Amino acid sequence: MENKDKKKGSSKIKVIIIGILILAVVGVGAYFGYSKFLKKDTKTNTAQNGVVQQTNTQQVQNNGQNSSTVANSNLDQVVSSQTFELDEVTINLADESGSRYAKVKAFLGFNDKSLTAELTTKKPMVTDAVIGILRTKKAADIVPKNMNSIKLEIIQKINPMLQKGQLNNVYFTDIVIQ
């Protein structure tokens, strides 16, 4: 009888230890999931808002518009006085099947006329940056509600390459997803 009580006691302890281990693994997984996915999105959104405010400020400085434009934090409100045409590109998308692709035609928007010469010189690097960003997207990511974040990502990638001015918008004139 004493052996049965010891076996019951030891099996209860095993169940409790296994339960604690499972809770610990779930807790660690939740922490890493939060820090990798959700926390990164918060930082990205903050950085994107900063770029929108910066581009709106540049627009006001370059065009002499009133200060109400600075308050707009929406990329749709930024209108560029100059554009630079990129070549049409076809990109494999990051979908699991690997068979989806997108054909994209884009224009880069800016206000400083001297930037045209620099963009012409750096066109291969700029096009490569756009391709690099779009290749990380899935077909489900390229929808109207996500276009501003994709545009901001492109602006943030290209602006550090430029010395004579900064981009303030990206205009997509043709997007075909197959």
37 part of a folded domain: no
User: Can you tell me the mean pLDDT for 91-104?
Assistant: 90
Residue 142, SS3? coil
44 part of a folded domain: no
pLDDT recorded at residue 69: 31
Closest of 168, 145, 148, 173 to residue 158, by C-alpha: 168
161 part of a folded domain: yes
pLDDT recorded at residue 120: 95
**pLDDT tens across 20-46, in order?**
999 888 888 888 777 777 654 444 444
115 part of a folded domain: yes
48 part of a folded domain: no
Residue 162 is part of which domain span? 74-177
pTM, rounded to two decimals: 0.58
Rounded to the nearest integer, the mean pLDDT of the chain is 79
pLDDT at 48 over 80: no
The number of domains in the chain is: 1
CATH number of domain containing 93: 3.30.479.30
Pairing state between β 89-92 and 82-85: unpaired
Cβ neighbours, 10 Å, residue 167: 28
pLDDT recorded at residue 49: 44
52 part of a folded domain: no
117 part of a folded domain: yes
Contacts of 141 (CB under 8 A, 6+ apart): 150
129 part of a folded domain: yes
